[in-house]
Structure 1
């Protein structure tokens, strides 16, 4: 039997949450598209940005998009893994319980 927490794209940490994101750059619009599943069964938050993946522009756009969607300051969101890949690990600093609730709301979209 699988752990229900494994179907969530985030992990609660001491100072916030770590979020698994699959980013699509050069999209027609900036948006958070809800929950996605990778072929290996891992859950990810699907996001798209208009920015191109050059010189960190797509990562910066993702940080701004997630900050707005989660209602936190841009400086509290940082891409910490996968800077040059579509699959990214994003750390959001703040109250973990509040952030977890906001992420679960995003997953409903």
Structure 2
């Protein structure tokens, strides 16, 4: 990803806001890189093995993001998109550290 291209995350006061395009019942739990959205934004492409019912997929996504960013699951909060495929999560922590970890995760 070049420096001028839009990112799947942005700096917030206490960490990062991360846009995620979720695929429930994806066979395994994994972050599959970045995806370009129709409106020009980017999102992390993530899949979880559980179905999207009773918040199970959202919880699995939060754990997956926490693991990838190297933070505690309690430091990940779903901000928007609880019932949508496109979600926004807040990752609490040092923005520079979190950015470096996410870039390494997606190979950017």
TM band (smaller chain): over 0.9
Matching residue of 1:47: 46
Alignment of 1:3-42 (within 5 A): 4=4, 6-42=5-41
- 2: distance between equivalents of 1:95 and 1:65? 18
SS of 1:99's equivalent? helix
Query: Hey, what's the Cα distance between the residues in 2 that align with 1:97 and 1:38?
Result: 24
| Corresponding residue for residue 99 of structure 2 | 100
Distance 1:35 1:56 in 2: 23
Q: TM-score, normalised by structure 2?
A: 0.93
Aligned residue pairs, count? 106
Q: Distance in 1 between matches of 2:79 and 2:7?
A: 19
In 1, Cα distance between the equivalents of 2:13 and 2:77?
16
Unaligned stretches of 5+ residues in structure 1: none
Counterparts of 2:81 and 2:105 in 1: how far apart (Å)? 22
Give every structure 1 segment of 4 or more consecutive aligned residues whose post-TM-superposition deviation is greater than 4 Å. none
Show structure 2 runs of 5+ residues with no match. Answer: none
Query: Secondary structure of the residue that 1:41 maps to in structure 2?
Result: coil
Q: Counterpart of 1:90? A: 89
Q: Secondary structure at the match of 1:68?
A: helix
